[in-house]
Amino acid sequence: MMTMLGGEPFLLVSKQEQQNYPLYIRSVPSDSELKFHYTVHTSLDVVEEKVSAVGKVIVDQRELYLGLLYPTEDYKVYGYVTNSKVKFVIVVDSSNTSLRDNEIRSMFRKLHNSFTDVMCNPFYNPGDPIQSKVFDSMVSSMMVQTC
């Protein structure tokens, strides 16, 4: 699952079990949308590596935020993994200096809360793409903020 936002692409990826297909993708409408998809997809390499490393060392398992996954020339990619191994990825423009680690962290927390609400919906079938107005508007508000 993933989202992207205005100026700052902003993505969320989910995986169910060993699968890494997107539950939700949202990005600022632009020509390079496909490129963002690729960026998010490739960032899963790092997410998977980090998640498997966590399993080995058994660090603080309550820490879901994976931090900056890797820097590219143009974007910064951040990751977050819930305990049920749903992955969130946010991509922001690397020129955007207003978003520090703490802001990103709170964005992830908001996303996670909202995602939990989606999961609580009895009509939502886990693993299906997310189609929720509330979730959409939450993501939109976050994307507007970061613009």
Partner 1 sequence: MSPAQWDLPPELCCRPMAFVALTGLDVVYNAVHRAIWDAFCANRRADRVPISFKVLPGDHEYPKCRTKRTSYEWYIPKGILKTGWMNKHLNLVPALVVLFYELDWDEPQWKEKQSECATKVEIVRTSLQGRNTKVAVVLIQKKTPLPPGEDVMASERAAALCNACDLSGKSLFVLPHTDHLVGYIIRLENAFYEHAQTYYYTEIRRVKSHKEFLNKTTHQLLFVRHQFKTAFFSELKQDTQNALKYYRAAYSLIHELRTHETNILEIKTMAGFINYKICRLCFQHNTPLDAIAQFRKHIDLCKKKIGSAELAFEHAAWMSKQFQYFGDLFDEAIKLGLTAIQTQNPGFYYQQAAHYAQERKRLAFQLCGGPEANLGYPAPDPLETPTGILDFYGQRAWRQGHQSIDPPDPEKEKGGILALQGREKEVPHSELIIALLSNAVAQFKKYKCPRMKSRLMVQMGEEYYHTKDYAKALKLLDYVMCDYRTERWWGLLTSILGTALRCSYLMAQVKDYVSYSMELVGRASMLREDQKSRIQKNVAKVLKNEPPEAEPDCDPSAVKAAQALWNERGSQASGEDLILEVQDSVPFVQCKARFLHPSFHLDVPVQLHVFLLTDSPHPVRFSKLCVSLSNQDYNQYCVVDSLGQAPAQEDMCLVPGRTHRYSFRFVARPEDVGKKIEITGVDLMLGSENGRCIFLNWRGGGGDAASSHEALQATRSFKRRGLEPQISVQLHHEPPALNNEMYCMMVTIQSHEDIVARDLKLTAGLKPGQDANLSHTTHVTLDGSKMCDDSHRALLPDIPMGDLQPQEKMEKPLSIRCSTTGPRIFLVHVAYTVDTCIEGRDIVCKCHKDETVTIETVVPFEVAVKFVSTKFEHLEHVFVDVPFLLMTDILSMSPWPLHLVTSELQLAPTMAAVDQPASQVEEVVLQTGESASECFCLTCPPVHHGTTGVASGQYVMSWKRKSANATIPVVNTVITLPHVAVETIPLYVHADLPSFGRVRESLPVKYHIQNRTAIVQEVEMSVEPSDAFMFSGLKQVRLRILPGTEQDMLYNFYPLMAGYQMLPLLNINLLRLPAVSGQLLRRFLPSRIFIKVTFNGPANSGIESGARCWSYPSLILTVSQRRSSKVLRQKMGRTVPLLCPPSPNRLSRR
Interface contacts to partner 1, rule CB under 8 A: 19-22, 25, 34, 37-38, 41-42, 44-46, 49, 69-70, 72-73
Nearer to partner 1, 19 or 98 (CB): 19
Contact 93, 11 (CB under 8 A): no
- CB 49, min distance to partner 1, A: 5
Nearer to partner 1, 30 or 42 (CB): 42
CA-based nearest residue to 69, from 53, 80, 58, 60: 80
- CB 96, min distance to partner 1, A: 16
Contact 126, 119 (CB under 8 A): yes
Nearer to partner 1, 59 or 134 (CB): 59
- CB 145, min distance to partner 1, A: 25
Nearer to partner 1, 68 or 134 (CB): 68
- CB 19, min distance to partner 1, A: 7
- What residues contact 74, with CB distance under 8 A and at least 6 apart? 93, 94
Nearer to partner 1, 46 or 54 (CB): 46
Strand order, beta sheet including 75-81? 65-71, 75-81, 87-93
- CB 64, min distance to partner 1, A: 19
| Residues β-bridged to residue 93 | 75
Residue 15 per-residue DSSP state: -
Contact 2, 25 (CB under 8 A): yes
